[in-house]
Amino acid sequence: MRLSSMGYALRDALRSMWRNKFMSMASMATVAISLTILGFAWLLVVNTQYLTTVMEAELEINVYLKDEITRDQAVQMKSAFAQIPGVAEAVFVPKEEGLKSLEERFGGESELVRVLGDSNPLPDVYRLKTVDAEHVPPAAAAVLGMPGVDDVRYGKGLVEKLLSLTQWLHMFGVIAILAVGLAAVFLIATTIRITVFARRREVAIMKLVGATDWYIRWPFFLEGMIIGLVGALCAVLCIFVVYSQLVKNITMTVNFLPVITDSSVITSLYQTLLLMGASLGALGSAISLHRFLKI
């Protein structure tokens, strides 16, 4: 398309938006609200995944060995644990080190060692790290059935709930994207349809005098893209202000709660929303024009 034709299409799109300014503003507001909801839903899912990743990094299976297991036998069990599917790391913690760690936890003034004397009631322990949280329950079940293992603890119940929550949030995110996208396309298509219907005779005359379909489409495509882009800009501005303040409040009050602050991740979200806004506008225009160009 030539530059002069593109200039005409842009001027025609802006004139059409001005003539239907109330409907255009309503569509922009709808796109802004829809993409704002979608953006916050996306941030919720990403922050939940980030929290899950942090928790997975700290998640471990504690394997308590039986008292009759000798030190040499305990050390040799490391290779057996490492061969279990999903296990990424196996660290042996002898009972002496466990007692020392327990004393440090209670403080230097603790009389724990003096009270226990030469006896150490703690067992030898293996701490297993898995590739991800999904491998924890089956790996723990496999370890529990091995000879020499007295007990296995990994926060049973919490891991399963964490995995269930992650799956639910993934499903929620997909449903939110589809629902919000369809609503935005419908409303933009309605706006463009009203504009095209009001200019149906003009479109018919342009077709009769030899105007190509793309020459007719471009002003409406640009109108839809501008509506979607302006709505997306409003959504990005709203998300930027609210999320920045939210992160600031969380950092000041509950700084132990991990939240996404990586600028590249946030910028990627803003770029995606702007692209979605323009794409939804173009898609809405295409749906509306399909009928009226069949002359």
Show me where the domains of the chain are located: 3-55+161-292, 60-153
Q: Report how far residue 163's alpha carbon sits from residue 144's, in angstroms, rounded to the nearest whole number.
A: 21
Has residue 174 got a pLDDT over 60?
A: yes
Which pLDDT belongs to residue 81?
A: 85
Q: What is the mean pLDDT of the chain?
A: 76
Say which residue, 60 or 181, is predicted with more confidence.
60
Q: What token pair was written down for 79?
A: 């290779």
Instruction: Indicate the helix (H) or strand (E) that contains 64.
Output: strand 61-65
CATH fold for domain 60-153: Alpha-Beta Plaits (3.30.70)
Q: Report how far residue 254's alpha carbon sits from residue 238's, in angstroms, rounded to the nearest whole number.
A: 23
Best mean pLDDT range from 43-57, 122-136, 169-183, 263-277: 263-277
Q: What token pair was written down for 251?
A: 């950092």
Q: Which residues of 134-173 are buried (b: 16+ CB within 10 A; e: fewer)?
A: ebbbebbebbeeeebbeebebbeeebeebbeebeebeeeb
Best mean pLDDT range from 35-44, 113-122, 179-188: 35-44
Instruction: Indicate the helix (H) or strand (E) that contains 286.
Output: helix 263-292
Q: Report how far residue 67's alpha carbon sits from residue 288's, in angstroms, rounded to the nearest whole number.
A: 77
241, 286 in Cβ contact below 8 A? no
Q: Report how far residue 19's alpha carbon sits from residue 4's, in angstroms, rounded to the nearest whole number.
A: 23
Phi/psi of residue 32, each to 5°?
A: -60, -45
> What is the band of 241 on the pLDDT scale with cuts at 50, 70, 90?
very high
Q: What percent of the chain has pLDDT over 90?
A: 4
